[in-house]
Amino acid sequence: MVNTGALLIVGAYLVGMLLVGFIVGKLKIKDSEDYMVAGRRMGIFMVAFSLSANNIGGGSTTGLAQKAFEDWGMSAIWYVLAASIAMIPLAYFAPRIRKTMAVTIPEVIERRFGKGSATFSAVLNILALFCLTSSQVAASGGVIATLTGIPLNVCLFIAGLVIIIYTTLGGMIADQISDLVQFIIILVGLAIATPFVIHGCGGWGAVSAALPGEQLSFTKIGWVVIIGYIFNYFCTFLSGPEMISRFESAKDEKTAMRASLLSGVLMAAMAVFPTLLGLCALAVRDLIPELTPATAMMSVTEHFAPTIITGLVSAAIISATMSSADSNLLCMSTMFINDIVQSNFHVQLDDRKKIFYTRVSNVVFCVVAMLISFLGVNIIMMNTFAFAIRCSGPFAAYGLGLVMPKATKNAGRISIITGTIGVIVWQILSGGDFFLGILPVVFGCGVGTLTFLLVNAIESRMGVAPAPSAYEAIED
């Protein structure tokens, strides 16, 4: 059954995103730096909200409520709270990322460790970003279909078209504006819905009384898992192009650092509401027909909250998914043009042509992602592997390359290889989950980091000259 109120709000949201892309494309995009890194003029709130929106996807809303409904209980809050804690050490790197004045991760790796390492990193990232974009287009279409009752294929087309138009026209500026709007919708929608739902369930006392005591424990999943997730988020953030591009868009280095810390606060706030909604759904599961863990948040909201609130939450879920898709699409196209086409084929593009070909790449990549969604191709395993490899391979070379000025070229080059091998081995051994208390991404990044430090120590003792600076483009 179609919820008309929810449908109207979702429709208004999607139209609003199209308008953002059109207006920004007409008024704000003057050169390739505007298009790719928002002219490096974004303030603390724009950067912080954009960082947060990129991390609060479907897994951090409906997925978080599902974990609370199932085995994790109240400790599901750590699934997002761990990400907010990871933003604290990331704040140390943020001003250094901004100082590079680069556009992509491979650009910095090329400065320090050479073109081969940069190209390998670019290929890993593009593959991962394409898989993620395909998954997110499919997820966005699926969410729209579930919430509105519109046929799935139509929703896949709508989701893909909206992502293409506002990302292609408006670039990073449109992405950050939409991220700001999306995160506000998510935060406000869930913040308003949660008290309605708790009240409808009879108050928090009734909810807690209906739940087993262990479901209310903040540490039910255990400290090994909690700490593992904090390390996992830090590793993926420091080597994630969607995060790096936001820091590069900041107006200065202090803004980048402060935005990282503010983003941590915003994500901590977001950790609370889906967790509570999932627990409420568990407490009243016998009152709501056809309630499943995957639909826990939406079902309990629709049952107890007014129509307009349900519509807001519907838009919040869609925006949470699409906020990741648009960023991944733009990062992928930017990397393809900058680090594959220009760097390897020696193609010189002026600003106008660079914007044009990046836009064309946006359209082509997203259309192919839509086709994969239409065909129902299962790329979950490939998605998981690609994401793990793209994080673990370049992690040490990029992160330590920013903070160790005397690092040698071979330290970076070899660490990319060993980090990639490490994550593949651990992924196979663990099945993509914890193994000996360690997640695959953390293991791969750890192997890469140890390799980097060991090779650098050996070569430094041998008198090998340091690699060029990560900041050479602005020091020359």
- Would the pLDDT of 474 be above 50? no
- Would the pLDDT of 6 be above 50? yes
**CA torsion, points 432, 415, 122, 403, in degrees to nearest 10?**
110
| 46-96 pLDDT per residue, tens | 999 999 988 876 667 888 898 999 999 999 999 999 999 999 999 999 999
Domain extent for 54: 4-344+351-377
471 sits in the region (left: phi over 0; alpha: psi -120 to 50; else beta) called: alpha
As a 3-state breakdown, the chain gives helix, strand, coil percent values, each rounded to 5, of 80, 0, 20
pTM of the full structure: 0.89
| CA–CA gap between residue 72 and residue 219 (Å, rounded) | 9
| Confidence at residue 396, expressed as pLDDT on a 0 to 100 scale | 95
Same domain, 212 and 251: yes
Q: What is the H or E stretch that residue 431 is in?
A: none
| Confidence at residue 313, expressed as pLDDT on a 0 to 100 scale | 78
| CA–CA gap between residue 202 and residue 206 (Å, rounded) | 5
| 203-236 pLDDT per residue, tens | 999 999 999 989 999 999 999 999 999 999 999 9
Exposure of 470 in the CB half-sphere (CA atoms within 13 A): 28
Contact 296, 63 (CB under 8 A): no
Query: Using 50, 70 and 90 to split pLDDT, how confident is the model at 476?
Result: very low
| 8-26 pLDDT per residue, tens | 777 787 788 788 888 887 7
- Would the pLDDT of 118 be above 90? yes
Segment 345-367 shows an average pLDDT of 90
Segment 367-393 shows an average pLDDT of 76
| Confidence at residue 383, expressed as pLDDT on a 0 to 100 scale | 65
Segment 340-345 shows an average pLDDT of 89
Contact 239, 390 (CB under 8 A): yes
| CA–CA gap between residue 254 and residue 227 (Å, rounded) | 28
Segment 277-283 shows an average pLDDT of 94
204 in helix, strand or coil?
Answer: helix
Q: Which residue has 């390799």 as its token pair?
A: 451
| Confidence at residue 247, expressed as pLDDT on a 0 to 100 scale | 96
- Would the pLDDT of 168 be above 90? no
| Confidence at residue 58, expressed as pLDDT on a 0 to 100 scale | 63
CATH of the domain at 98: 1.20.1730.10
How far is Cα of residue 442 from the mean position of the Cα atoms in its chain? 17
- Would the pLDDT of 1 be above 60? no
- Would the pLDDT of 102 be above 80? yes
Same domain, 23 and 162: yes
Same domain, 317 and 292: yes
| Confidence at residue 369, expressed as pLDDT on a 0 to 100 scale | 84
| Confidence at residue 26, expressed as pLDDT on a 0 to 100 scale | 79
| CA–CA gap between residue 14 and residue 169 (Å, rounded) | 15
Segment 298-309 shows an average pLDDT of 86
What single DSSP character describes residue 59?
G
Among 173-187, 368-382, 460-474, the range scoring the smallest mean pLDDT is 368-382
Same domain, 293 and 174: yes
- Would the pLDDT of 43 be above 70? yes
Contact 62, 209 (CB under 8 A): no
Helix 78-99 to helix 380-403 angle (10° resolution) is 50
| Confidence at residue 473, expressed as pLDDT on a 0 to 100 scale | 56
Whole-number average pLDDT of the chain: 88
- Would the pLDDT of 388 be above 50? yes
- Would the pLDDT of 379 be above 70? no
Segment 132-153 shows an average pLDDT of 78
**CA torsion, points 413, 233, 322, 38, in degrees to nearest 10?**
-60
> Of 325, 359, 377, which marks where a domain is finished?
377
Number of domains in the chain: 2
- % of the chain beyond a pLDDT of 90: 52
| CA–CA gap between residue 245 and residue 330 (Å, rounded) | 10
- Would the pLDDT of 254 be above 70? yes
| Confidence at residue 377, expressed as pLDDT on a 0 to 100 scale | 64
Same domain, 136 and 247: yes
Same domain, 203 and 77: yes
Which has the higher per-residue pLDDT, 430 or 276? 276
| Confidence at residue 339, expressed as pLDDT on a 0 to 100 scale | 93
**Measured between alpha carbons, how far is residue 232 from residues 163, 369, 403 in Å?**
28, 27, 20
Contact 197, 300 (CB under 8 A): yes
| Confidence at residue 56, expressed as pLDDT on a 0 to 100 scale | 76
Same domain, 96 and 235: yes
Which has the higher per-residue pLDDT, 136 or 443? 443
Same domain, 70 and 145: yes
- Would the pLDDT of 413 be above 90? yes
- Would the pLDDT of 475 be above 70? no
Same domain, 387 and 400: yes
Segment 402-421 shows an average pLDDT of 95
| Confidence at residue 371, expressed as pLDDT on a 0 to 100 scale | 85
Which has the higher per-residue pLDDT, 279 or 325? 279
Same domain, 151 and 270: yes
Segment 345-364 shows an average pLDDT of 90
| Confidence at residue 5, expressed as pLDDT on a 0 to 100 scale | 66
- Residues with Cβ within 8 Å of residue 413, at least 6 apart in sequence: 113, 114, 116, 117, 397
- Would the pLDDT of 161 be above 80? yes
Same domain, 295 and 419: no
- Would the pLDDT of 384 be above 90? no
Same domain, 433 and 386: yes
